[in-house]
Amino acid sequence: MISVHRCRRRLHRDGWDAKMRSLIQLLIPERIPWFAAGLYDRIAQDAVESYYKPVAEEIVAAMNRGLILDIGTGPGYLPIEIAKIAPQVTIQAVDLTGKMIRLARRGAREAGVSNRITFRVGDANKLRFGDDSFDMVISTGALHAWKHPVRVMRECLRVLKPGAEAWIYDPAHVVTKRTEEYLRHNLGRIDRIAYKWASWSTRGTEPLTGDRIRSILERLDCMETRVEKGRWLKIILRKHDPPARTQEQ
């Protein structure tokens, strides 16, 4: 039997941990800092075959032509993989970290798809695109880091064309066995600093719980919301269809 004293200590500890997570979330920026961009790129590059390519194939199976917006693109591996297999798709991709955008542009040039992807520094809380602009909005591994997820999702809906969908994947499954080995034995000085920062910051940016996701979706005005728990967790938002035209008498 658990004593009252032990229960109080556990509640105190849990309450303190929750406060620390809230404080960390408040302090850390939504962007990946410049010194961590190189390590993140290395991790993401190792996950192209296991994660980004299958996600790209899933997206293209649903939308193989038109204009896509990728939010929180990082080093750009997802839009690059989409562009490789969908020649009739063009992509706008935004990220808060300038170094990530430079890495993504280089990757697109090397892959020969830079003519169909535009990478730019951009804030998901205030997208610099007009209403009803995109055939699809996508995001991978960014939701848990958004300080104002309702605001970002409302921006996703604003820039979507009527009836179009946003697909938000989180978390991104990018850590492979090869990556784990690299993190244990091969980190340079800057990467060690980046790894320590990532280990600390993740205490305040853990994946959202089902209850938290539901509370966010309830605050959105859209035609449909659903959560799919297949190979990866995916949140789908569908914008309202355009109003039906009435026949003139």
Contact 119, 104 (CB under 8 A): yes
pLDDT in tens, 30-42: 777 778 888 888 8
Percent helix, percent strand, percent coil in the chain, to nearest 5? 50, 20, 35
Cis peptide before 171 (omega within 30 of 0): yes
Contact 169, 55 (CB under 8 A): yes
Question: What pTM was estimated for this model as a whole?
Answer: 0.82
Domain ranges of the chain: 31-238
**Distance between CA atoms of residues 216 and 150, nearest Å:** 6
Q: Is 94 helix (H, G, I), strand (E, B) or coil?
A: strand
pLDDT in tens, 96-139: 999 999 999 999 999 999 999 999 999 999 999 999 999 999 99
- Average pLDDT by consecutive 10-residue portion of the chain (249 residues)? 47 48 55 81 91 97 97 97 98 96 98 98 97 98 92 98 97 75 74 70 73 94 93 94 66
**Distance between CA atoms of residues 167 and 212, nearest Å:** 17
Secondary structure element (H or E) that encloses residue 83, with its range: helix 77-85
Domain 31-238: top CATH class:
alpha beta
Burial degree of 142 (CB within 10 A; 0-12, 13-18, 19+) = buried
pLDDT at 16: 44
Q: For Cα atoms 167, 77, 139, give the angle at the middle one, nearest 5 degrees.
A: 20
Maximal CA-CA distance, the chain:
78
